[in-house]
Structure 1
């Protein structure tokens, strides 16, 4: 009865919102209705955002200097910057801005807004500062490194040797440097917070849509910006609706009450594949599912034990039975599909070999441990499968479930034994993106608190590997750089790391065939400005 009441209330709200004369079962032709789980949508501030869900919203409220197209993410394209230069010394990026761009407030956009937006990222030092800090930017040096020589030129000096192309990829892929309307944001600043409190639930961008309404865990509505510098978007509104249950999303897609649905369970996605009015877009992400071990635990500090765990995971069985729609078999730290990515090493479940390794390590009867995991799918199913095969080798792992803060929080504090998780960045089309997140650990001391580096979280530390990663990043010869990254993968494999890749993430989105121009992006930066709808489902082979 309670579920029925909630559904009825939602239907009534949507009918009122869309207009009482709208025929039910068919969304308005000039509006896109997207169903998703909005539990992790906590802020709309580009500097503080976390998670793919908010990235897909922010990139439609704000513009960045450059963009990466969904069909070719390594092809950097102009956005607010019409062109850019890399200095011969490779330590200065110069961006030449479009002229005549205005924010949704009507204020003109200038280089000063770009500079202020980047300085704000580092001064706030919130979630999205992490990548920029890895390039050497800090709140102490950012003001001197980013400048505006004139109203339409932005210069970014790199604080330490880096691959400038990777920095440009980050500007395009992260969505964190959405350029903010400095004048508007400062009008809402409170106690020196750079407008963070206000921007949690408001927007101040130049993008194709502006924020109209956001009610947490309910509805978010964006409306067309009529003065958008590229020309008005084809849709008048985009409405995001919160649904926690995958079966509800499936029902709404089947009835035609939603145009797009994401965050669905694989069983429901598969049930919709045969629907002639719908299509399923599967996008491979750079993020990896993994089994991690803490080298602060005496058992896992032993290389032989880590190697035994390597042979106590049924990679093929997990990916065949549990991961369709969630991920694809992958056993390397660099994401698949890159020139530098080595073929998988082909690890398989081998219990006798694992038992022999455990005996050599001094654990002939195995040992007791804990395995932390999110209480969501597919994480929980992976953990149960891993627990079962660990038991065959004599490792008795007690599963501990919880929320993201409880599970990853313990990992960030280096207070865990084993963990099933997902990570790796991979948003930039560059090998360093995954290595930075999964492997690199420049300072293994507890007090270093490099919580964004999963190499540090696990306590996996190899000075030579760190040096190889630093050198590969700076290599200018492309063929030599590919060879360097392949050498990194071989050494990582030989060292028997504390983080074992199992599968590369696949994100499946269900889309009505009346929706045209919708391209899910591997970096979650799905642009909606050119999306439009037809009045009926196009016929196969039709005009």
Structure 2
């Protein structure tokens, strides 16, 4: 194999030395890349990975970047849905080609879905929502001709949900010929795709150096709009203060994940601008109602009182410096059907009255929390605000992996948790917070909360084909969880991205994978 020789300007960008200005046709992005396990779209499930996949791959359909509630064709030219038969018949975009020059065919679509399901990597559960499993996926895909494919599903979900599932990164279409020429045994090309690309996106992989950088070149054959820049360099800079310095000095064009203090310091800095982008990420407090060691945890009166013991404004504005806003429902603002009203406020006197009426005295419980912002910041605020209502919170700070393990083992009493939809559909959140069949590890299941009527409502909503009726079902579910549930939804994130002021056309959407570089210019 020939070694890849990188141009001097790329080598300069990857070095630690400052060079005062980035090259005119290259975008230099600084962020942490240490979370990446793989850039194979059938395996990518970490934040940095799924932010990169859309630049390399396209899907049959994707959320409209300007209106993410709308699904638009990308590699599909059109589709015909049959709700009764649970099928989508998709006509592919004519003349679409991959970065290799290979034409897109129905075989590529079938291969992409088959490998994603059969590899069964961590994001495969998203395709499992359709009922697709390794032992049935071959029967769910039918080639009509080279440019037409019929997709079937066994699960009781509407075509709208199926389209939303097919708009996720794991549903990216790969170049089957390129991948099959790089197989290692029966790995479906996974080892090769961890480090290379085989897609039709606006960019293609030049090189990926783990824990160092991802270098992308423009793909002029990509269907749709052509990228405006020649190269994207995404550089691994784990330290937020170092990222701040690079963007401040002009050694980077885009800086991500700076944290509230670093970002606040740049808001009035000449030469840079701070974008605030709504994100679907939410923080919530949950009580493990299945933990019998503390009777408080399964007491609806305590759940109600807790809603008035959170200093929502203090957390979002003072502590988290506006990087989050108050949001008190399980559907994030921006997702169709989300309730935007916030019925609860910090009111210790009201909470005390609720507790007194319920005969709850000397209330105390433990709170598992990740020992890093924003989680520990929120937990410390809760400890102080709950104390004003006469409730003692003992914090149990630990590494994220330890908190996750305790929650998975159902050993916690209460926890501060983060939620991001796995796909851009209300069912992703509803099935997590409202559904518990006693077998699944949903959020409700991990916290011992099971309401048969909500299970039925969740299944009815995901199967409902009428958009208005479906929205009404989710409205009722959100209202019920606000009324009585072991969850206290606290806030929703605003992603803050810092750009040099000569960067134009950068777009980032509500969900984690909605990061777009193709319209960026300098």
TM-score by length of 1: 0.87
Query: In structure 2, what is the equivalent of residue 461 of structure 1?
Result: 450
Confirm or deny that 1:403 pairs with 2:392. no
| Cα distance, 1:144 vs structure 2 | 0.8
Following TM superposition, by how much is the alpha carbon of 1:328 offset from its aligned partner in structure 2, in angstroms? 0.8
Equivalences for residues 172-211 of structure 1 within 5 A: 172=167, 174-211=168-205
Matched with 1:320 is 317
Which residue matches 1:10? none
Could you give the per-residue CA deviations for residues 279-301 of structure 1, whole angstroms, max 9, x where no partner exists?
22211122211111212222312
The answer as to whether partners of 1:427 and 1:522 remain within 8 angstroms in 2 is no
Residues 371 and 420 in structure 1, CA contact (< 8 A), matched pair in contact too: yes
Q: Pick the aligned partner of 1:40 from 31, 35, 39.
A: 35
Q: SS where residue 170 of structure 2 aligns? A: coil
Deviations 1:74-102 (A, max 9, x none): 23222111111212636111211123333
Q: 1:341 aligns with which of 328, 338, 341?
A: 338
The aligned residue for residue 385 of structure 1 is 381
Q: Which runs of 5+ in 1 are unaligned?
A: 1-12, 534-543
Which secondary structure does the structure 2 equivalent of 1:271 belong to?
helix
8 A contact 2:13–2:28 mirrored in 1: no
Find the aligned partners of 2:85 and 2:282 in 1 and give their Cα distance. Answer: 31
Q: Supply the distance in 2 between the matched residues of 1:497 and 1:344 (Cα, whole angstroms).
A: 17
CA distance in 1, matches of 2:315, 2:13: 44
- Find the counterpart in structure 2 of residue 309 from structure 1: 306
Unaligned runs of 5+ in 2: 1-7
> Structure 1 CA distance, aligned partners of 2:468 and 2:482?
22
Residue 36 (structure 1) shift: 0.7
Preserved CA contact (<8 Å) 2:280 2:334: no
Are the counterparts in 2 of residues 120 and 194 from structure 1 also a CA contact under 8 Å? yes
Q: In 1, distance between residues paired with 2:475 and 2:366?
A: 33
Tell me how far apart the structure 2 counterparts of residues 252 and 458 of structure 1 sit (CA, whole Å). 43
What is the CA deviation profile of residues 150-205 of structure 1, one whole-angstrom value per residue up to 9, with x for unaligned ones? 11112111212212112212322x21111112233233333423222332222222
Question: What are the residue-to-residue correspondences of 1:239-254 with 2, within 5 Å?
Answer: 239-254=233-248
What are the Cα deviations for residues 475-510 of structure 1, in whole angstroms up to 9, with x where unaligned?
Answer: 34433333222221222223x212221001211111
SS across alignment from 1:247: helix
CA contact (8 A) 2:14 2:235 kept: no
Q: After superposition, what is the alpha-carbon deviation per residue over 1:107-131, rounded to whole angstroms, capped at 9, x for unaligned?
A: 3321111111112222122221122
CA contact (8 A) 2:434 2:458 kept: no
Query: Does the residue aligned with 2:344 lie in a helix, a strand or coil?
Result: coil
Corresponding residue number in structure 2 for 1:133: 128
Tell me how far 1:221 sits from its aligned partner.
Answer: 1.0
Give how far 1:338 is off.
5.3
| Structure 2 residue 17 is matched with structure 1 residue 28 | no
Provide the rounded CA distance (Å) in 2 between the counterparts of 1:297 and 1:188: 50
Cα deviation, 1:4-33, whole Å, max 9, x if unaligned, reads xxxxxxxxx97743599x993111011000
Question: Per the alignment, do residues 23 and 502 of structure 1 end up closer, same or farther by CA in structure 2, a change over 3 Å counting?
Answer: closer
C-alpha distance after superposition, 1:45-77 (max 9, x if no partner): 212222332112111111111122322112322
Partners of 1:148 and 1:141 lie apart in 2 by 16
Aligned residue number for residue 146 of structure 2: 151
Q: Are residues 1:522 and 2:504 paired?
A: no
Counterpart-to-counterpart distance in 2, 1:194 and 1:362: 61
Match of 1:9 in 2: none
Task: Give the aligned partner of residue 255 of structure 2.
Answer: 261
Matches within 5 A, 1:32-181: 32-87=27-82, 89=84, 91-172=86-167, 174-181=168-175
Alpha-carbon distance, 1:467 to partner: 0.9
**Mapped partners of 1:224, 1:338: distance in 2:** 32
State the partner residue of 1:371: 367
Deviation at 1:514, TM superposition (A): 1.6
Paired residue secondary structure (2:444): helix
Given that residues 109 and 174 in structure 2 are in contact (C-alpha distance below 8 angstroms), is that contact kept between their aligned partners in structure 1? yes
The equivalent residue for 2:487 is 499
Q: Is the 8 A contact 1:286 1:434 kept in 2?
A: no
Aligned to 1:330: 327
Indicate the residue corresponding to 2:461 in structure 1: 472
Contact map agreement 1:335 1:431 (CA 8 A) in 2: no
- Please give the alpha-carbon distance, in whole angstroms, between the structure 2 residues aligned to 1:307 and 1:19: 53
* Map of 2:500 onto structure 1: 512
Distance in 1 separating the partners of 2:316 and 2:348? 18
Within 1, Cα distance between the matches of 2:109 and 2:232?
A: 26
After the TM superposition, list the runs of 4 or more consecutive aligned residues in structure 1 that deviate by more than 6 angstroms.
none
Paired residue total? 510
**Against the structure 1 CA distance between its residues 86 and 139, is the aligned structure 2 distance closer, same or farther, given a 3 Å change threshold?**
same
User: Is residue 437 from structure 1 mapped to residue 437 from structure 2 by the alignment?
Assistant: no
Distance 2:280 2:214 in 1: 27
1:305–1:144 Cα change, 3 Å = same
Deviation by residue 1:299-341 (Cα, 9 ceiling, x = unmatched): 3122233233223222222122123442110011122245633
Q: Given that residues 208 and 232 in structure 1 are in contact (C-alpha distance below 8 angstroms), is that contact kept between their aligned partners in structure 2?
A: yes
- CA-based RMSD of the aligned residues comes to 2.5
Local SS of the residue matching 2:432: helix
Q: Which deviates more, 254-263 or 218-227? A: 218-227
